[in-house]
Structure 1
Amino acid sequence: MSEKNCGELEMDRTARSEETSLYRFPCGDWEWKQVGESLRERMNGLGMHRFHKKALEIRAAIEWLDPIMERYCGETCPSCQDPCCNGRNVFYNRTDLITLLACGEPLPPGQTRKTADEACRYLRSSGCSLSRTRRPYVCVWFLCEPQMVLFQGESARLQRQIVRVLGKIRENRLLLESLLDG
């Protein structure tokens, strides 16, 4: 894979097309800590600076989406009988951890749940206790049916802008994966 300035990758046939599902499983806090330390060491060995720019772009894009998503959640989640946050397959994946570490942020205290039958440890009665930039990415982009109705009610211009931002986040996340796998 050829490299550009600041560790950016050219998208070629060796670049990833899907994120890995590594670390998408329930785990205890000790195991979680080990995963984080191992990943941090690997990224430091490759040069943490190589990941930094793309991770910051991801964070900025999520911050742009946040007011929109907060509005959608504020209008739909309080009356929801089956919150998406209770989904048993909602976990951090490796790219989530790469992004947080490359932004210089500590990892959350643990995976979303320690066992498969638990609810998300970050869900509170007022919603998620984590800022949107620290949540698993699935918690950032997923829109339930009532939220899709709200999205479809937005102007075509805003819809296109949201789709572009989500596409850029995905592209940058895939680049981070490719950087790690070299």
Structure 2
Amino acid sequence: MNKFHVSVLLVTTIFMLIGCDPSATNPNVVFSEHKQDPIEELEMTADVDHSRLSYKETFYVPIYSDIYIDKENRTVLLSATLSVRNTTLKKSLYVNKIDYYDTDGTLIKSYLNAPLELPAMGTLNYIVEKEETKGGSGANFIIEVEGMDETVKPVIEAVMLGNFSNKAFAFSTEGTPVAH
């Protein structure tokens, strides 16, 4: 076998191995500081004593997977970044639920296997790629958080990005507390 064939075989094998690793294309892993899924990185291994936590709130966060752009009913796919921010200087925020729902209110995915601890002044960013079309134009997250007291209130937002023709646009939404 000549060097050319060996080189082609080697390059093909490398691309096949990279293609088998979903984390190689997951933007949440690629863009994280430690090259690890940010949710998995923050998940707790020890149980939290929930009796010590007096603040608990559930938030609804609208996510637009696509938007309509003209009278011909064309749509543009959008990417979204969900951002959960702990605004306290000294206390942790505990996130118990991050669930993603579609336009019809059907649960698409529960992102947490275990609660996660967001340290003081910490931020969790999570990307929903524009190729993810299951959510539709009315997609949303339900996020449940807990903290030591009422001073541990998070800021929860989503930023959507898209482009059409030679124009790009971005807009954001805020998490809204919901009644249980």
TM-score normalized by the length of structure 2: 0.30
Larger radius of gyration between Structure 1 and Structure 2: 2
Choose between structure 1 and 2: higher strand proportion: 2
Choose between structure 1 and 2: higher helix proportion: 1
TM-score normalized by the length of structure 1: 0.30
